[in-house]
């Protein structure tokens, strides 16, 4: 018989499945049961609990502040606290009626046309347009709703524009 060949198809299938099966076995930190996880789950860190029930048991006895600390990476806690508050505030502003009105006025003034490449949606060709702040939204809060600070750009041109602090970086 040639090297590496199997007479029995069951042996052959088993050999192939063993090669394809990657991952590891772990012990649950709550109940101690042994369980298997694939590499992508291990990479995410899903290798401590065998079931959701065990995870919830572990979570139930912990103080709330400790749960949030574990969700942030080391060294990121202090840096992210301020950022979360600012980003949620900016998100609320961008969802406001005043912002929506500003955006619509900029589009009307520019006739729904990209001011860089002069492209516009046609009957069977949809072009996404966006309102761009010439002076950054976050740095110049007094100009957020000033129509002269806005310009209509297509998605392609808007992605090429520098965002926020990039314009005013001091090197």
Instruction: Determine the Cα–Cα distance for residues 75 and 80; give it in Å rounded to an integer.
Output: 9
Residue 97 is predicted with a pLDDT of: 92
State the pLDDT at residue 74.
Answer: 45
Contact (CB, 8 A) for 112 and 120: yes
25: helix, coil or strand?
strand
d(CA 34, CA 97): 54
Other CB atoms closer than 10 Å to residue 169's CB: what's the count?
8
Give the pLDDT of residue 16. Answer: 58
What is the full per-residue pLDDT of the chain (171 aa) written as tens digits? Answer: 455 555 666 666 666 555 567 888 889 988 988 988 888 888 888 888 888 888 888 888 676 655 455 544 444 444 555 555 556 787 888 888 999 999 999 999 999 999 999 998 888 888 899 999 888 887 888 988 999 999 999 989 998 887 765 555 444
Report d(CA 170, CA 113) in Å as an integer: 33
Which run of H or E residues covers position 18? helix 9-20
Cα distance between residue 166 and residue 171, in whole Å? 11
């Amino acid at each position: 018989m040639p090297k590496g060949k199997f007479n029995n198809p069951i042996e052959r299938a088993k050999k192939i499945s063993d090669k394809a099966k990657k991952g590891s076995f772990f012990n649950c930190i709550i109940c101690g049961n042994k369980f298997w996880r694939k590499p992508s789950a291990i990479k995410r860190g899903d290798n401590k609990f065998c079931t959701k029930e065990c995870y919830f048991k572990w979570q139930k006895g912990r103080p709330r502040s400790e749960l949030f600390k574990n969700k942030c990476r080391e060294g990121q806690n202090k840096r992210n606290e301020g950022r979360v508050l600012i980003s949620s505030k900016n998100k609320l502003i961008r969802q406001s009626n005043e912002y929506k009105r500003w955006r619509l006025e900029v589009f009307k003034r520019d006739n729904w046309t990209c001011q860089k490449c002069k492209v516009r949606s046609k009957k069977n060709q949809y072009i996404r347009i966006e309102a761009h702040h010439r002076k950054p939204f976050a740095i110049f809060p007094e100009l957020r709703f000033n129509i002269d600070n806005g310009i209509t750009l297509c998605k392609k041109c808007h992605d090429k524009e520098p965002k926020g602090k990039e314009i005013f970086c001091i090197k």
